[in-house]
């Protein structure tokens, strides 16, 4: 088997079970509530959302230091790193800087840093696909080329209860977001090419769920057998309903349910549903 390892930053929103199964190394981002600083994953999800409700300002997220990536590059394996979109975070730049430093003393080590141009479970899907290709015996170059290619094929939509945090965090165009928020609508978003775009609106959970599911099915072909991940921000019942509705319409390779972590949850807010398919 090839000596290759997949590294992702913690915004991939994969559970510990999934991370262990697919042998993915995680480099965590940081979350801060004023002077209180936490490594992503340190807080239980429910505790994070509780603190965010009580905290008057938006928590701040910060990317891992190059030193964190340098440590993850150690070992005899060649390394493929998948990061949250470079337009949304400095994590990609940090991983690249660490790569250049590490390669100075380790010229025979192969390190590829891939900007996923997305985040959350879309990034997680790429990590899973990379792990699968390692098990299939693909070469380093084949895996990197394939991941760079298929990242453009990911279908990634979401339904958010509010755009307030995304606006405050500079992740969404303020004018478009404020119009939707002012009308008390839930926002339907599309994530890709490093951007988060409001593309529709809905009133009520039932309507927002239907619209985000419709967006996914409008994008995939009827005969495609895709892997799909539904991620939820502390609303498992909603995620289960989405899974049920999607299985009524289409057969998938598999449907996984994950929880939105603190990094993505800071901007998506509680109650969000994200759906990624590849």
The residue ranges of the chain whose pLDDT is under 70 are: 1-2, 165, 167-184
The pLDDT value given to residue 182: 47
Q: What are phi and psi of 220, to 5 degrees?
A: -100, 150
The pTM score is 0.92
The pLDDT value given to residue 173: 58
In contact, 7 and 111? CB cutoff 8 Å: no
In contact, 238 and 205? CB cutoff 8 Å: yes
May I ask the CATH class of domain 4-29+64-152? alpha beta
Q: Tell me which CATH code domain 154-277 carries.
A: 3.30.1180.10
The pLDDT value given to residue 178: 52
The pLDDT value given to residue 179: 46
The pLDDT value given to residue 212: 95
User: What tokens does 167 get?
Assistant: 């606006």
The pLDDT value given to residue 206: 92
Domain ranges for the chain: 4-29+64-152, 154-277
The pLDDT value given to residue 187: 87
Rounded Cα distance between 186 and 96, Å, is 37
Specify burial of residue 176 (Cβ count, 10 A radius: 0-12, 13-18, 19+). middle
On average, the pLDDT of the chain sits at 91
């Amino acid at each position: 088997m090839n000596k290759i390892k997949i590294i992702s930053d913690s915004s991939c929103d994969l559970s510990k079970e999934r991370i262990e199964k697919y042998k993915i190394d995680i480099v965590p981002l940081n979350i801060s509530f004023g002077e209180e600083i936490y490594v992503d994953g340190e807080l239980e999800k429910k505790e994070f959302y509780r603190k965010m409700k009580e905290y008057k300002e938006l928590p701040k997220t910060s990317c891992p230091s190059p030193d964190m990536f340098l440590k993850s590059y150690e070992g005899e394996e060649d390394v493929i790193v998948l990061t949250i979109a470079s337009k949304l975070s400095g994590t990609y730049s940090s991983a690249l800087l660490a790569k250049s430093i590490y390669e100075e003393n380790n010229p025979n080590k192969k390190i590829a840093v891939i900007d996923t141009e997305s985040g959350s479970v879309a990034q997680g899907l790429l990590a899973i696909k990379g792990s699968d290709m390692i098990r299939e015996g693909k070469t380093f170059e084949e895996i990197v080329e394939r991941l760079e290619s298929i990242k453009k094929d990911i279908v990634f939509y979401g339904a958010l209860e509010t755009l307030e945090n995304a606006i405050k965090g500079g992740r969404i165009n303020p004018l478009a977001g404020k119009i939707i928020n002012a009308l008390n609508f839930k926002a339907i978003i599309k994530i890709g090419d490093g951007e988060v775009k409001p593309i529709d609106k809905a009133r009520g959970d039932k309507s927002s769920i239907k619209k985000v599911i419709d967006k996914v099915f409008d994008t995939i072909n009827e005969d495609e057998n895709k892997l799909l991940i539904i991620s939820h921000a502390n609303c498992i019942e909603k995620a289960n309903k989405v899974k049920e509705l999607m299985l009524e319409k289409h057969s998938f390779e598999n449907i996984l349910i994950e929880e939105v972590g603190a990094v993505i949850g800071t901007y998506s807010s509680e109650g969000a549903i994200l759906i990624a398919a590849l």
